[in-house]
Chains A and B, each alone.
Chain A
């Protein structure tokens, strides 16, 4: 079973909610699909919906104490049980490592108390997740409506259970985020530069963030009660616009008036699609961007003239000829121009893309910050022109990053004959523009003026821009002191700064046996000096890596525990895995795997088997539940006097017992002093014929036990110890690991499989 799904199901089982045992897609009502009539009996619920834009914090759950293996996807799938989710976010630290907490933002306020109740005691990867309402600490004006929990029966009811009937299933499908639609994995947790990381982060965010569409179905006339409701939420003038973009038969015939509802008869503020486009055109905005401001969806960018037609927008014939010559579109700086697309494709083709065998690609653009500033400037301009029809917290356009996915991604994929795959080859494109430096400088000054309280050397990042810079938080006049409204046209379009290809992260797993008692696990360096020539890590990497990667430095070797330098590992061996970032190749034939295994075997020190490529999720087998794993050992022990039958009998134990072990002195200088309880499952002692003071003891113990200290007791610091059990000194001379109870990775005998593969190949050839 997919381990991610397994984790999710385990979490569900643990919650013991009967309806959850039957795991299936949870219907997600389209949040905007609210009943047009205002009805006092459903007041509270309606208010929840209408409030959604402004109270993100109140709709957000904080999840703490997350295991490092908890991904956005896992959080999404689990927390979806309490209602539709707007976004999921696990922040990363400066080094790109995932933090141990995350945020889940629901569409609906009412999901928050339900989720708090439902997920109480949730454990993921054996760690109890702390769940709090993000806004819990703040004063709650709306408390009576949002957070009070009226009765037990309603507490346990999914507040969205009723939404199935009125929910828009098409929208539900759109908003649903599946595991298959996963983010590109971090290519390498250690070595990736921050820029590339930021890009992949933003890709995740975008994918998780459903389109917030302020255009709601409503009757053009509106009604008094809705108006009252709007006024009720003062300062939150919502835009109820009528829009007909889809071909749905159920919808009303097209009337292309965008109209602030409720004011009809007195003062009508209206914005025709045609007005909007004409204004944009006058600002030199390109047609793609015009469609962005018309909130066009996926395929609507393909045949633009058809889309304009459907939206009842006409371009006069002369305009397209004249206007584009005036300059580059001030909002996208030519990003969506055909000329730029051509440059981008040429740039990518000039790279050594054939080196990578990946069928999938993912485009990661790093855009200059000025692009974001220019969207904001246009936003201000539209508000000046059309007034409060334009919301002050929800951008009036389809964000550039999303538009890149809708427009550029398919073009690049088609040109390269690759499919879009978040786990495929990452094409990192860095873009620059000549106005960037100057405008960012002005932004820095604007920032000081706009947020004078926050002078703690905050670096102005793209994330900060996205969050803080919107008309609701910054006054247009202040903005205009530093930067023009609307954005000015430029002569030059965006230029390619660099294109870097990053291959996918490939994981190779297997089991190793260690035959040498003079071999360290990883390179052993003391005071800058190599203490031993080889290491298990190097022996394996040297044989496996060249097939996948040109450089071996960034490969991470991990295993299910490790043994001391002087300990052998026999039996079926110890599971291990290599994380290979920027891999050129993502598959491994069994024949090649066998050759790699044989190459390692030739060292005579380490032997490898079951070598195979595995999905990255499976690596959590190595890292999780370490303390639950059993380990099998054989120890060569000696006594000062001949062993007696009584001693042998004391060392035959088939029932498990717990010992207390202090951190061994040999590691105490670098580890904390702790006393750990550890379980011994069984003991079996035998004596060497002809050497009555030599004992061979087989032990089955919980992982994490220090066996050498268990035998001699280390001055009484491990109790009981074998020495204290027999009441006599006993020492250990040699130790072998003979088994690790982890059935992973799958047993693959590459030697046998090669014959099968040869047959398959020959049949392919004979066709």
Chain B
């Protein structure tokens, strides 16, 4: 605490972790820091499998991402190459015309009362800063459990959020449908191939244009 040492003092000094020793079963307990793993996978990598779904509307194709949890819960997101990211996201609306998805209510363990959606049912409408409106499809057949209503007030979350945090909704497919659903979706490898091809086409088109 001497004033002479101030300039050399490590600003973290008071924040360094010191392990207290404890013995259990006659042996010292290993400190929690021993569990540190530099290559620890992310939350999405730990629990989810990435699948993709293509929706064609107005002659244009747009890709969506399905994060499939090991317990079959699905998060519906935009795929990273969705054109809305390039156009800039202006607003998200869960009122899809005939029904407002944000009014979905589920009760109990069985999620009673949740809307039952088909893969091409519209979950939400997304408007870009260019004025294009994209229909967000449900991507899978299942029961609507949760709607990410925060996106209505903060549509920019979609651009800033970590992977998964820009989910539109959480769906719960039936156990017996899971195999069919997974088979109908694009795998991550398929998706990478798809991105490669579409960017090549874009390059070709650009080349043709010039």
Cβ of B57 within 8 Å of any chain A Cβ, yes or no, is no
Do B15 and A715 touch (CB < 8 A)?
A: no
List 9 tightest A-B contacts by C-beta distance, closest first.
A734-B35, A686-B17, A715-B165, A696-B17, A669-B71, A601-B25, A636-B32, A715-B164, A648-B15
Tell me, in angstroms, the Cα distance from A691 to B69 when the chains sit together.
31
Tell yes or no: B75 within 8 A of A by CB: yes
A607 within 8 A of B: yes
B145 close to chain A: CB less than 8 A: yes
- Beta-carbon contacts of A696-709 to B below 8 Å, as 1s and 0s? 10000000000000
Partner of B170, one of A513, A602, A607, A668: A668
Q: Which residue of A is nearest B71, CB measured?
A: A669
A685 touches B32 (CB 8 A): no
Q: Give every chain B residue within 8 A of A671 (Cβ-Cβ).
A: 109
Bound Cα distance from A245 to B150, whole angstroms: 81
A403 close to chain B: CB less than 8 A: no
Contact flags B79-116 to A (C-beta < 8 A → 1, else 0): 00000000000000000000000000011110100000
Partner of B15, one of A515, A667, A685: A685
CB distance from A648 to the nearest CB of B (A): 5
1/0 per residue B152-176: CB within 8 Å of A?
0000010001101101001010000
Does the CB pair B24–A570 fall under 8 Å?
Answer: yes
Question: Which of B25, B43, B73 lies in contact with A668, CB distance below 8 A?
Answer: B73
> What residues of B have a CB within 8 angstroms of the CB of A513 in the complex?
24
Query: Is A322's CB within 8 Å of the partner chain B?
Result: no
CA distance A716 to B168 in the complex (A): 12
Contact A733 B29 (CB under 8 A): no
- CB-contacts of A652-688 with B (<8 A): 662, 665-673, 685-688
| Complex interface: chain B residues within 8 A of A688 (CB) | 16-17, 33, 36
B36 touches A691 (CB 8 A): yes
Least Cβ–Cβ distance between B27 and chain A, in angstroms? 8
Judge whether A453 is part of the interface by a CB distance below 8 angstroms. no
* Given known A570-B24, A636-B33, A733-B40, contact A687–B15 (CB-CB < 8 A): yes
Q: Which residue of B lies closest to A685 (CB)?
A: B15
Asked if A736 is at the interface of the complex by the 8 Å CB criterion, the answer is yes
Q: Which residue of B24, B35, B170 is within 8 Å of A636 (Cβ)?
A: B35
Cross-chain contact of A736 among B17, B32, B69, B172 (Cβ < 8 A): B32
Q: How far is the CB of B38 from chain A (nearest CB, A)?
A: 9
Asked whether, in the complex, the Cβ of B32 is within 8 Å of the Cβ of A607, the reply is no
Q: Considering the chains assembled together, what is the distance between the CA atoms of A467 and B11 in angstroms?
A: 81
Q: Is the CB of B69 within 8 A of A665?
A: yes
The reply to whether the CB of A689 lies closer than 8 angstroms to some CB of chain B is: yes
* A81, B78: Cα distance in complex, Å: 65
Number of A-B contacts (CB under 8 A): 111
- Quick one: given A669-B73, A672-B109, A696-B17, are A733 and B36 in contact (CB under 8 Å)? yes
User: Please, could you name 13 A-B residue pairs with CB atoms under 8 Å apart, sorted by A?
Assistant: A515-B25, A570-B24, A571-B22, A604-B27, A607-B25, A665-B71, A666-B71, A668-B170, A673-B106, A673-B145, A688-B17, A733-B36, A734-B32
Q: Please indicate the chain B residues that have their CB under 8 angstroms from the CB of A370 in the complex.
A: none
In the complex, chain B residues 35-82 whose Cβ is within 8 Å of any chain A Cβ: 35-37, 40, 42-43, 47, 69, 71-73, 75
Q: How far is the CA of A667 from the CA of B164 in the complex (A)?
A: 17
Chain A: interface size category: 35 or more
Which residues of chain A from 602 to 618 have a CB within 8 Å of any chain B CB? 602, 604, 607
By a beta-carbon cutoff of 8 Å, the part of chain A in contact with chain B is: 513, 515, 517, 570-571, 601-602, 604, 607, 634-636, 638, 645, 648, 662, 665-673, 685-689, 691-692, 694, 696, 712-716, 729, 731, 733-734, 736
Find the residue from A602, A665, A666 having the highest chain B CB count within 10 A: A665
Q: How far is the CA of A688 from the CA of B145 in the complex (A)?
A: 40
Would B32 and A634 count as touching, CB distance under 8 A?
yes
Chain A, residue nearest B108 (CB): A672
A662 to B35 CA separation, bound complex (whole angstroms): 28
- Which chain A residues lie closer than 8 Å to B73 at the CB level? 665, 668-669
Cα A753 to Cα B11 in complex, Å, equals 49
B144, chain A: closest CB distance, angstroms: 11
Residues of A near B40 (CB, < 8 A) are 638, 731, 733
B17 touches A601 (CB 8 A): no
B170 contacts across to A, CB distance below 8 A: 665, 668
Partner of A731, one of B18, B29, B42, B150: B42
Q: Find out whether the CB atom of B32 lies under 8 angstroms from the CB atom of A645.
A: no
- Give every chain B residue within 8 A of A604 (Cβ-Cβ): 25, 27
Bound-state Cα–Cα, A670 to B111, Å:
9
> What residue in chain A is nearest B146 (Cβ atoms)?
A673
- Pairwise interchain contact B165-A689, C-beta atoms closer than 8 A: no
- Minimum C-beta distance from B100 to chain A (A): 18
Cα distance, A191 to B150, chains bound together (Å): 48
- List the A side residues contacting B75 at CB < 8 Å: 665, 715
B130-147 CB contact bits vs A (8 Å, 1 = yes)?
000000000000000110
Q: Which residues of A contact B157 (CB under 8 A)?
A: 716
Q: In the complex, are the beta carbons of A686 and B16 less than 8 A apart? A: yes
By beta carbon, the residue of chain B nearest A691 is B36
Partner of B37, one of A669, A716, A733: A733
**Residues in B whose Cβ lies below 8 Å from that of A601:** 25-26
Note all chain A residues with C-beta closer than 8 A to B165.
713, 715-716
Given contacts A636-B36, A665-B69, A696-B33, 14 further A-B contacts (CB under 8 A): A601-B25, A604-B25, A604-B27, A607-B25, A645-B12, A666-B47, A671-B109, A672-B106, A673-B106, A687-B16, A688-B36, A696-B32, A715-B167, A733-B40
Instruction: Report the minimum CB–CB distance from B104 to chain A (whole Å).
Output: 10
CB neighbours of A607 from chain B (8 A): 24-25
- A298 to B117: give the CA distance in the assembly, Å: 72
- Beyond A673-B146, A686-B16, whether A515 also contacts B36 by CB under 8 A is no
Q: How far is the CA of A704 from the CA of B179 in the complex (A)?
A: 34
A542 vs chain B, min Cβ distance (A): 16
Determine how close the nearest CB of chain A comes to the CB of B200; give it in whole angstroms.
32
Please name all residues of chain B whose beta carbon is closer than 8 Å to the beta carbon of A515 when the two chains form the complex. 24-25, 29
Contacts of B15 in A (CB 8 A): 645, 648, 685-687
B residues less than 8 Å from A713 (CB atoms): 165
Q: In the assembled complex, which residues on chain A have CB atoms less than 8 Å from the CB atom of B111?
A: 672-673
Residues of B within 8 A of A662 (CB): 146
Judging by beta carbons under 8 Å apart, are B25 and A716 in contact? no
How far apart are the CA atoms of A667 and B22 in the complex, in Å? Answer: 33
Known interface pairs A636-B35, A733-B37; A668-B145 also in contact (CB < 8 Å): yes
Residue of B nearest to A723 (CB): B162
B71 and A716: CB pair below 8 A?
no
Most chain B CB within a 10 A radius of its CB, from A601, A671, A696, A731 = A696
Least CB distance from A742 to B in Å reads 19
CA distance A691 to B148 in the complex (A): 36
- For B36, the chain A residues whose CB sits under 8 A away are 636, 638, 688, 691, 694, 733-734
Taking CB atoms, residues of chain B closer than 8 Å to A665 are 47, 69, 71, 73, 75, 170
Instruction: For A605, give the chain B residue with the smallest CB separation.
Output: B25
Do B25 and A731 touch (CB < 8 A)? Answer: no
Give the docked Cα–Cα distance between A671 and B157 (Å): 28
Q: How far is the CA of A604 from the CA of B28 in the complex (A)?
A: 12
Residues of chain A within 8 A of B18, CB atoms compared: 686
The distance in angstroms between the C-alpha atoms of A694 and B12, with both chains bound, is 13
Chain A neighbourhood of B25, CB < 8 A: 515, 601-602, 604, 607
CA distance A672 to B113 in the complex (A): 12
In angstroms, Cα B208 to Cα A15, docked, is 86
- B72 surroundings in chain A (CB, below 8 A): 669
- Chain A residues, Cβ within 8 Å of B33: 636, 688, 691, 694, 696
Q: How far is the CA of A635 from the CA of B109 in the complex (A)?
A: 30
CB contacts (< 8 Å) of A714 on chain B: these are 43
In the complex, how many angstroms separate the beta carbon of A419 from the nearest chain B beta carbon?
43
Q: B108 contacts A645, CB within 8 Å?
A: no
A721 to B127, CA, bound (A): 29
Q: Report the Cα distance A665→B36, complex, angstroms.
A: 24
Residues of chain B within 8 A (CB-CB) of A672 are 106-109, 111
B29 near A716: Cβ-Cβ < 8 Å = no
Which of B16, B17, B33, B167 is most buried by chain A, counting CB atoms within 10 A of its CB?
B17
Residues of B within 8 A of A645 (CB): 11-12, 15
